[in-house]
């Protein structure tokens, strides 16, 4: 019986050590997973901030380009109108006549 108690005691000690090692390994794995999660969250936040900044820069550039093109088109139209005032008057008259024709011939008219 003494031999059985001794074997049981050794088995219990070994089981306790295995549980402690398993617990430490699980804690270490959980700690590593939290570190990886925090790093991924930080990188994601930084990427989102970079994307926002680039989107704002792109929108600003698009606005400036559109404004410049509008100005160029307006200048070209002003030069053409100054060079050919009669053509502008005829074009405006034709546009007005077309609008009046569409309004008078609309299907909702009773």
Give the start-to-end residue ranges of the domains of the chain: 2-104
**Cα distance between residue 10 and residue 1, in whole Å:** 14
Q: What is the pLDDT of residues 2-41, one digit of tens each?
A: 677 777 777 777 777 777 877 777 778 778 888 888 888 8
Tokens 């053509």 — which residue?
Answer: 87
Instruction: Give me the mean pLDDT over the 66-91 stretch.
Output: 89
Band the pLDDT of 109: cuts 50, 70, 90.
Answer: low
Span 55-82, mean pLDDT? 92
Q: Is 100 exposed, middle or buried (0-12, 13-18, 19+ CB in 10 A)?
A: exposed
The reported pTM is 0.48
Question: What's the mean per-residue pLDDT of the chain?
Answer: 85
- The pLDDT of residue 95 is 93
**More confident position, 48 or 109:** 48
């Amino acid at each position: 019986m003494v031999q059985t108690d001794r074997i049981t005691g050794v088995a219990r000690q070994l089981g306790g050590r295995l549980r402690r090692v398993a617990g430490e390994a699980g804690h270490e794995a959980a700690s590593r997973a939290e570190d990886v999660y925090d790093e991924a969250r930080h990188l994601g936040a930084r990427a989102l901030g970079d994307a926002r900044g680039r989107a704002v820069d792109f929108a600003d550039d698009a606005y400036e380009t559109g404004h410049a093109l509008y100005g160029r088109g307006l200048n070209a139209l002003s030069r053409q109108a100054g060079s050919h005032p009669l053509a502008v008057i005829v074009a405006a008259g034709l546009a007005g006549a077309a609008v009046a024709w569409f309004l008078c011939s609309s299907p909702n008219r009773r």
